[in-house]
Amino acid sequence: MKKDKAVIYWLLSGCVLVFIMVVVGGITRLTNSGLSMTDWHLVTDTFPPLTEAKWNAAFEEYKKFPEYQKINIHNDFTLADYKFIYFWEWFHRFIGRIIGLVFIIPFVYFLIQKRINKDTLSKCFILLGMGALQGFFGWFMVKSGLVDHPDVSHFRLALHLTFAFITFAYTLWVALDLIYPERNQVIVPLKKLARITLVFLVIQIIYGGFVAGLSAGLIHNNWPLMSDGQFFHESIALEKDSWLLRFTEGKSGVQFVHRTMAYVVVGLILFLYLRSKKYTLSIQQQNGLNALVVLVFVQFALGVFTLLYSVPLWLGLLHQVMAFFLLTAMTYTLHRLSK
């Protein structure tokens, strides 16, 4: 099958834009900007307020909601401060619109030109649905912080974040199908192990969302033990009434799972790499595995330093970016071991 480079570049550009959107989303979260746009309209909010009167009107509306009334009202929060947080949330949503345009307009063009084969077409419709669903998850997340509490639900934040990662990975997978139309010899044991590793990596990403949503990285800023010389800190058992809630809603419990799961992910990737030595691999397969090993150790180190330094913006953002690179390498490696 002849490769259509324009279609491939189109899909890869979507990957880049999703990556940028997640990075901006990370900045939005780390600067506490996510609840600045209390009302949103698809057309009229394409650009930020363009006059001082409109800025003041938006600020007055923001003052009606919990984040201002319970937190920022006590912090000498000014219009200039509001403009700063408004920008990041607006920019995050603006990139979402750009992604929609970049996907839909070329998609219609390629469809008319009959440059998308039947198999890829069905995958593109899935991507279209995933994009719409991601927009809904974003609204669903923000809505949770505009009612009674000045924080979004960490469950909804993790859902929004993880689905962005999954959308990115699936877009990359579709592009890889077109980049490598030929079939590799499938190494079944490695493929199964790579799938298991991917599952644990996604769970780790989910718990990264939990840690972010609960600000759980601001406690127990020690490593390798949590604090007070304890691997399993005693506060975990005191936070909630059940073990399920302790490990999904308690700050100490969520951090414990996230930091412990990091060892599991590192171990699985190392096991996958060592297991691969028993087989004859293609250059692509070997490169994917090599990248996985390097990236997982870099990500592990970033996680440790992010914790030790109590999540400064640049380290928290870099940790999230590296998670994207690690997922990219994982998706590429699994694709090369599967196809």
CA dihedral 216, 221, 222, 223 (to 10 degrees): 50
In tens digits, what is the pLDDT along the chain, a chain of 339 residues?
567 899 999 999 999 999 999 999 999 988 888 888 877 665 556 788 889 999 999 899 888 888 888 888 888 899 999 999 999 999 999 999 999 999 999 999 999 998 998 899 999 999 999 999 998 888 888 888 777 777 788 999 999 999 999 999 999 999 999 999 887 778 899 999 999 999 999 999 999 999 999 999 999 999 999 988 888 999 999 898 899 999 999 999 999 999 999 999 999 999 999 999 999 899 999 999 999 999 999 999 999 999 999 999 999 999 999 999 999 999 999 999 987
Query: Residue 230: phi, psi to the nearest 5?
Result: -115, 130
Task: Look at residue 174 in the predicted model and tell me its pLDDT.
Answer: 96
Sorted by sequence, the CB contacts under 8 Å of residue 125 that are 6+ apart come out as: none
Q: Locate 223 and state its tokens.
A: 């490593």
Give the Cα separation of 205 and 224 in Å (integer).
20
Task: Look at residue 183 in the predicted model and tell me its pLDDT.
Answer: 74
User: For residue 175, which of 13, 324, 290 has the smallest C-alpha distance?
Assistant: 13
